[in-house]
Amino acid sequence: MINLNGKSAIITGSSRGIGAATAFKLAEFGANIVINHSSENSKDRAEEIAESIKDKFDVEVIVIQADVSEKEEAEKLINESLQKFETIDILVNNAGINRDGLLMRMKPEEWQQVIDVNLTGIFNVCNAVIRPMMKARAGKIINMSSIVGITGNAGQTNYSASKAGIIGFTKSLAQEVASRGITVNAVAPGLISTEMTDEMPEKALNKMKENIPLNRSGDPEEIANTVAFLASDLSSYITGEVIKVTGGLGM
C-alpha cells in the first residue's frame, strides 16, 4: 500500500500533462504538493490544478512560479517550498520542452532552449535540493527522461540528447547520495497522450503507434503511477535505475 501521508513533494512543470497527473496521484496517496509552473502564461492553469487537488484530497497545496532553467529561480522554488513544508521529501523533475526538427535545419537557439530546460533545469533544482535532503538523510528524486533518450528519434536530436543526459545524471547522482539515504531514479515514458504529443505531426504519431506492442499511446496517469511507486517506501531498494513505461516501445 502506498502511503505518502505527511510527505511533501515538488513536481516541476506540473501545470499540465504528466506533471499535473503526478501531482494528483501523489496527493491521492497523502503527499502535500508544490505545483510549479514557469511563466505567467501558465499561472491560471497551475492555480486550477491546485484548487482541484485541494477539493479532492485532504492535503496542502501551494503554487510557485519558477523557470527551472534559471539557477536563481530554481533556488527560489526550493527555498519557498522549505519555508512552507520544512522538508522536501520527494522531488519530481518533470519540466520539459521540445523544439523538434532535423539537425540540418535546427537553429542554435532551438538546441540550447531544450538543453537549458530539460537538462540544466534538473541540475539547477537538484543542486538546490540536495543539501537539505542530505541533512535529513532521506529523499526521493525522480527524473523524467524519455524512451528517445535510450533509442534516439529522427527529428529530435536536441530532445533525445537532453533525455539521454538525464539518464547519466541520474545514475551519477544516485551513486553520490546513496549513503545519505537518498534514492535517485528516472522514468522513461514512451508515447503518452499530452499537449506535447498533440503537437507532433499525425504521420509521425501513427508511425510510433505501429511500433508499440500494446497498440496504443499511454495515459499521463500511467506515468504518475510509476512515479508514485518510486516516491514510496515500496521502492526503498531501488536507485540509479531507469524504468521504461512505453507499452513495449523500444523493448
Rounded (5°) CA angle 119-120-121: 90
pLDDT, one tens digit per residue, over 188-198 is 999 999 887 77
Phi, psi of 236 (to 5 degrees): -60, -20
So which residues are the catalytic ones? 159
pLDDT at residue 130 in the model:
98
**pLDDT at residue number 195:** 80
Instruction: DSSP for 13-30, please give it.
Output: T-SSHHHHHHHHHHHHTT
Whole-prediction pTM value?
Answer: 0.96
Q: Residue type for 158, please?
A: N
Give one DSSP letter per residue of 28-52, joined into a string.
HTT-EEEEEESSGGGHHHHHHHHHH
Domains plus CATH for the chain? 8-243 (3.40.50.720)
Q: What is the pLDDT of residue 32?
A: 98
Residue 71 neighbours by CB under 8 Å, 6+ apart: 124, 127
Average pLDDT over residues 230-241: 98
